Amino acid sequence: MAKVAVPGNGNVFLLDIEGTTTPITFVKDVLFPYIKDNVQEYLSAHWEEDECKQDVHLLKKQADDDSKHHRSGPVHSFDQTVHTDEEKAIQEVVDNVLWQMAEDRKTTALKQLQGHMWRAAYTTGKIRGEVYEDVVPAIRKWRRLGMKVYIYSSGSVEAQKLLFGYSTEGNVLELFDGHFDTNIGAKVESKSYQRIAESIGCSADNIMFLTDLTREAKAAEEAGVKVAVVVRPGNAELTEEEKSHYKLITSFSELALPDSA
């Protein structure tokens, strides 16, 4: 693809993760299967620890709420204080977790347990965050030119820092000036990008947002943010209209900076 010029006033990069810095398959083929394959072993090993107890308590509250609202699922009766049979109690938590994942739910209770499991996996070397090979060299170049780089992902800030702190490229957290997640707002809402600009302390049109999803690109554009859509293997297909509307890149190296355009 031809080079895509970064506007002369652009001095901040805002990066999506999944499908942009990281293969979209990483979450689907690595992170989620790790939870399914290891949740029972993890709970058994940490069952008596305070953090795990808090995770189970949150899952129980979610299960009670699901039951109250007649949402289908496994029997919602697990509680560490109810069962004398630890094995049975753990199995009920496992069943609930697997059910929520099969339904592609994003409950806080599920995300909290997943986050704690991924943290343990990253720190023990069982998982390494995947980063496309063009990403780190490009960011190093941007920073040498005095540009700032931020991450904006629907995954929690903790999950973002684990991915880049224990990545295939080593610990590259030093490359980022900050991290945003959905606590600042949904990625498909233009107000989220306005809040990010305010948080960074710059004008929206100083920001160049890289994402693989056009609905996010549309929201960013509406906020006055500059956008390029990243085309990677496995990403959603773009319509002809989207291809003609957005600047497209297949690699970060295709961005021409003001000093090098």
Distances (CA, A) of 77 to 74, 139, 145, 250: 9, 49, 57, 49
Residue-wise pLDDT for 61-113, tens only, equals 999 988 888 776 665 455 555 555 889 999 999 999 999 999 988 888 898 99
Residue-wise pLDDT for 172-213, tens only, equals 999 999 999 988 999 999 999 999 999 999 999 999 999 999
Side chain identity, residue 146: G
Structure tokens at 199: 């948080």
Q: CB of 155 within 8 A of CB of 187?
A: no
Side chain identity, residue 111: K
pTM: 0.85
User: Distance (Å, rounded) from C-alpha 129 to C-alpha 37?
Assistant: 18
